[in-house]
Every structure is written in C-alpha cells, then in structure tokens.
Amino acid sequence: MVARSILVLTGAGISADSGVPTFRAADGLWEGHRVEDVATPEAFRRDPSLVHAFYDARRAHLGKVEPNRAHVALAELEQAWPGDFLLVTQNVDDLHDRAGSKNLVHMHGELKRGWCLACGSRFSWSGAMGEGASCPVCATSGQVRPDIVWFGEEPYAMERIEDAVRTCDLFVSIGTSGAVYPAAGLVQTARYVGAHCVELNLEPSQGSIFFHETRLGRASQIVPAWVEELLA
Ligand code: APR
Ligand code: ZN
C-alpha cells in the first residue's frame, strides 16, 4: 500500500446498479425534461410544481432501492484504510450513508433534506415536499425547497474538498460522466499535486485523459474488485 490519503469522488453511475436512474443516460430524460431544465433556480421560479414533482418522485423512489456492492465496498475500504479517507459524492441519494460511509460529503445536497428560503434553516425531510410544504423551524409555508445544489449554485463544502484533493495521494473517480464542474475539475488538481488518478466507470468519461488508469465495467463489479486489490 503506497497511497496514504485517498479521495473518492462518486457520481450517478455508482447508484445505477441499485436501480437509481443516472442523469445523462439515453433514458436519462424525466418525462421529457432534460435535467438541466429542472435542476436550476430559474426552473424553480418558473414552475415550482414541476421541480417539486421531479424531486418528490426521486425521493419516493429511494424507498425502493438499496445500496449495492460498490457502496458497501467503499464503506469497507474506509473502515480498513489506515490513512486519510474522504468520500465526496455528487449523488443526492442516501445510498452511501446507508452502506455505512462516515467521512462523506454530499457536494450536491441531499434529497432527504429541505431548505427554507424564509428563515434559511436546513433540515431532514422525508416524504413529498410539494409547493405548500411548511418549514419545521419557522412554520412558513410555500418557501421550502429541496436542499439540492442546482446548476449555477455553488456546491457544498468546496473548501474541505479542495483541501483534501490537494493532499491526496490517490484520487478515484467512480460512475461520473465528468460533465459537471467543479466536480469534473477535481482530477486536474489531484493530477497536478502528483496523486495517482484512477477512473472506474462504465465507459470513458469526458475527463478520461486526466487519469493514469481507467477501468471499465459496472460499478457493482469493478469497485469491489478494486477495493480488494487495494487492501491486499
Ligand atoms: N457502473 C458504473 N458507471 C456507470 C454505470 C454503472 N452501472 N451506469 C452508468 N455509468 C456511468 C455512465 O457511463 C456515466 O459516465 O456513470 C456516469 C453517469 O453520469 P451522469 O448521469 O452524468 O451523472 P453524474 O456524473 O453524477 O452527474 C453529475 O450532474 O445533473 C447533475 O447534479 C447532478 O450530480 C449530478 C451531476
Ligand atoms: Zn423556515
């Protein structure tokens, strides 16, 4: 084991084998809408009920899916790894949490959280939100939005993430198309500071050239195999 500090970045592809739809697959449209047309503050202002329906459906679907072997393998890696370990996910599902990952950052927010625009509170949320939801903190209704980072908004915990990228020895990207910044740019920093960069994905991503190594396959197969090798 040469690497001491590991940073893992995950995207929708790691949850695909659990049955969570990805964003940019051929069937990645939601009732004919591109994700870029519902996941924006403008879309929410224009048509809040459409945006709520999109996230309410995805939140409800979480009740029907389970973590797969890739999520579990990452939780096991974190437990077994003697050095630093940070898991940064772009996913808004809760499958890493349910698999047992602890040092975990949801950089794009979480389906199971809400954010009140009246008082600024953020809180856990289960069930449908809809347009009329009332804030559990200030009781204002109609001002609660999903706590999701939309296009044009700044991801959470960027400082912590960038610090971890600048000090990692091993950077691993799993199941992400590399289409959305700043997540897609993290590999460039990792590469610049001399980390070994590995990509595990179904197909080469848009940032494939930045990785030293690309392994192709389904996450539920290639992630456990990679973890086993690393811990051997
Ligand atoms: N195993 C591994 N990789 C897979 C699998 C699988 N079973 N199925 C699909 N993939 C790969 C696809 O080939 C694709 O490269 O996962 C990637 C998923 O890409 P996207 O759908 O673009 O998801 P992601 O990269 O997470 O999107 C980033 O975009 O819409 C926003 O905020 C949203 O967090 C999301 C961000
Ligand atoms: Zn409130």
- pLDDT of 1 reads 47
Q: How far is CA 213 from CA 126, 173, 194, 226, in A?
A: 39, 11, 14, 12
Contacts of 105 by beta carbon, 8 Å cutoff, 6+ apart: 86, 87, 88, 89, 156, 157, 160, 161
Q: Among residues 52, 96, 108, 196, which one is catalytic?
A: 108
The pocket around ligand 1, CB under 6 angstroms, is made up of 11-13, 16-17, 22-24, 28, 35, 39, 90, 108, 175-177, 179-180, 201-203, 205, 218-219
- pLDDT of 28 reads 62
Domain boundaries, the chain: 6-20+66-108+155-231, 33-64+110-148
Given a cut of 80, whether residue 36 has pLDDT beyond it is no
- pLDDT of 152 reads 93
Tell me the C-alpha distance between 71 and 106, whole Å.
Answer: 14
Ligand 1 centroid distance, CA of 182 (Å): 15
Residues 142-176 have pLDDT tens digits of: 999 999 999 999 999 999 999 999 999 999 999 99
ipTM surpasses 0.90: yes
Domain 33-64+110-148 has CATH 3.30.1600.10: yes
Ligand 2 centroid distance, CA of 145 (Å): 11
CATH of 6-20+66-108+155-231, one of 3.50.50.60, 3.30.70.360, 3.40.190.10, 3.40.50.1220: 3.40.50.1220
pTM given for the model:
0.96
Percent of the chain with pLDDT over 70: 96
Q: How far is CA 114 from CA 21, 123, 230, in A?
A: 21, 5, 37
48: tokens are 């809040």
Residues 75-107 have pLDDT tens digits of: 999 999 999 999 999 999 999 999 999 999 999
